[in-house]
Amino acid sequence: MFDLDLWREIFQSINKNRTRSLLSGFTVAFAILLFTILFGIANGLQNTFKEEFVDTAANSIFIMSGKTSKANEGYQAGRQIQFKNEDYKYIKEEYGDKIEFISSRVYKNVNAAYKTEKNSYSLIAVYPDYQFVEKNEIKEGRYINQNDLDNKSKVIVIGRLVEKDLFIQESAIGKYLNLDGIQYKVVGVFSDEGGDNEESIIYIPITTAQHIYGNNDYIDQINLTYSPDLNYDQALGFSNLLTRKLKSRFSVANDDQRGIRVFNMAEATKTVDQMTGGLTVIILVIGFGTLIAGIVGISNIMIFIVKERTKEIGIRKALGATPKSIISIILIESILITAIAGYVGLLIGVGVLELVGPSLEVYFIKNPGVSNSLVIGATLTLILAGALAGYLPAKKASQIKPIVALRND
């Protein structure tokens, strides 16, 4: 039902009573402003926490080797543990049912050159599975595949920033990149949410790297993701099992923290999840507290407005206004003021976040902001709140007796 005359009445009432309208609007705008800023900042904190882990699958396990810190089984302390392809195969075959993706890696720093552009990058040699462990998105071309491994092909997949820095405007796909004097064909470009460092990496098939750089079967690290079917405790048990097995395989003392290191992302993820969960609850409580305070505020003002307008309502009733028309005029005015003021508060809040957001990174607040769904949700809540805040006063107004309202005092 769209009644133009009703809206005209309401706009006239709002317009002719600007102070009153501004006053009630201010309460709501301020509440929403606070709500938005609080929510944005909390989101920023969450972003900071999450970012540390977002670039790697949450179910990752990293297995690294180092120098032993304790003598064991006749070996002296300080022995360098070196993983080889057979260790990768051993884990893959022994625990295949618990593993989702697995890849070993070899690192190397290389100087890359294309035409006149030069820069140094990390070169990481991997299996095709590594794409999923590291959560790389292929932007163009393809990732390393089994064929590359079998043929020891001289192909590479480069990060988005490598392409941007070296190839400037061109597409890197199919071009040859010079890495320390050897030409590699670029077959793919990837992006990664983990930030600039993660996008400045060059991937190469592991067989190619082992053949060209050292002609051995050494590997630096084994990365895997455990099966999503494992729950938190099972995942922890799995990484503990791996630690024990590998320690005995390499004759490393059980209490040696350096020879073999297994890092399970599940532990870190759980901590972060708990923290962000707690944070979310706090934010929700504070946010809704603010909203409720705003609603109570506007409800109070509406009651005051109805008191102030008692005489006017009495006149309207004497002239033939039905209770329904009185309710709708007050209710719609309340909803309108709440919605508009709330929206203004929201816009200011979002604006403030945009403005000061970048300078807050020092305080572990990254990309503070509110999502579209929150904006829509908040707007709907506001309209509902306006209706709620306006309803009781409007009902009261509709019950005003004209003779009481029209008394001459």
Partner 1 sequence: MLQIKNLNKSYPIGDTSLHVLKGINLSVENGEMVAIMGSSGSGKSTLLNIIGMLDEADSGEYILDNLPIKNLTEKKAAVYRNKFLGFIFQSFNLINYKNALENVALPLYYQGMKRKERQELAMFHLEKVGLANWAHHLPKELSGGQKQRVAIARALAANPKLLLADEPTGALDTTTSHEIMAFIQQLNDEGKTILMVTHEEDIANMCKRIVRLRDGIIIEDKKVNQVRAEQYV
Cβ closer to partner 1: 105 or 317?
317
Least separation, in Å, of the C-beta of 353 and partner 1? 38
When asked if residue 315 is in the footprint of partner 1 (CB under 8 A), the reply is: yes
Kindly tell me which residue out of 16, 116, 255, 355 binds partner 1, with binding defined by CB under 8 A. Answer: 16
Cβ closer to partner 1: 4 or 362?
4
Kindly tell me which residue out of 281, 318, 376, 380 binds partner 1, with binding defined by CB under 8 A. Answer: 318
Phi, psi of 74 (to 5 degrees): 85, -10
Residue 369: CB partners within 8 Å, gap ≥ 6?
A: 40, 43, 44, 350, 353, 354, 357
Considering only the stretches 11-19, 69-77, 108-116, 249-257, report the one whose residues sit in contact with partner 1 under the rule CB under 8 A: 11-19
When asked if residue 230 is in the footprint of partner 1 (CB under 8 A), the reply is: no
Q: Kindly report the length of the chain.
A: 409
When asked if residue 23 is in the footprint of partner 1 (CB under 8 A), the reply is: no
Site for partner 1 in 294-313 (CB under 8 A): 311-312
CA angle 346-348-352, nearest 5°? 115
Kindly tell me which residue out of 82, 146, 216, 322 binds partner 1, with binding defined by CB under 8 A. Answer: 322
Least separation, in Å, of the C-beta of 310 and partner 1? 12
Considering only the stretches 228-236, 285-293, 380-388, 400-408, report the one whose residues sit in contact with partner 1 under the rule CB under 8 A: 400-408
When asked if residue 319 is in the footprint of partner 1 (CB under 8 A), the reply is: yes
**Could you count the other beta carbons within 10 Å of the beta carbon of residue 335?**
21
Least separation, in Å, of the C-beta of 394 and partner 1? 14
Size of the site for partner 1 (CB under 8 A): 28
Distance between CA atoms of residues 19 and 352, nearest Å:
26
* Closest residue by Cα to residue 381 from 336, 331, 339: 339
Is 51 in contact with 366 (CB distance < 8 Å)?
yes
Distance between CA atoms of residues 219 and 126, nearest Å:
10
* Closest residue by Cα to residue 24 from 292, 340, 242: 340
When asked if residue 401 is in the footprint of partner 1 (CB under 8 A), the reply is: yes
Considering only the stretches 44-52, 149-157, 283-291, 323-331, report the one whose residues sit in contact with partner 1 under the rule CB under 8 A: 323-331
Is 191 in contact with 136 (CB distance < 8 Å)?
yes
The HSE-up count of residue 241 (CA atoms within 13 Å, CB side) is 11
Kindly tell me which residue out of 2, 109, 324, 362 binds partner 1, with binding defined by CB under 8 A. Answer: 324
Least separation, in Å, of the C-beta of 370 and partner 1? 37
Rama region for 159: left / alpha / beta (φ>0; ψ in -120 to 50; rest): beta
* Closest residue by Cα to residue 162 from 128, 111, 125: 111
Least separation, in Å, of the C-beta of 324 and partner 1? 7
Kindly tell me which residue out of 13, 68, 207, 264 binds partner 1, with binding defined by CB under 8 A. Answer: 13
Cβ closer to partner 1: 282 or 392?
392
Separation in Å, CA 136 to CA 54, 148, 192, 194, 295: 11, 18, 5, 9, 46
When asked if residue 82 is in the footprint of partner 1 (CB under 8 A), the reply is: no
Kindly tell me which residue out of 105, 108, 135, 317 binds partner 1, with binding defined by CB under 8 A. Answer: 317
Look up tokens 């301020």; give the residue. 30
Task: List residues near partner 1 by CB under 8 A.
Answer: 4-5, 8-9, 12-13, 16-17, 311-312, 314-325, 398, 401-403, 406, 408
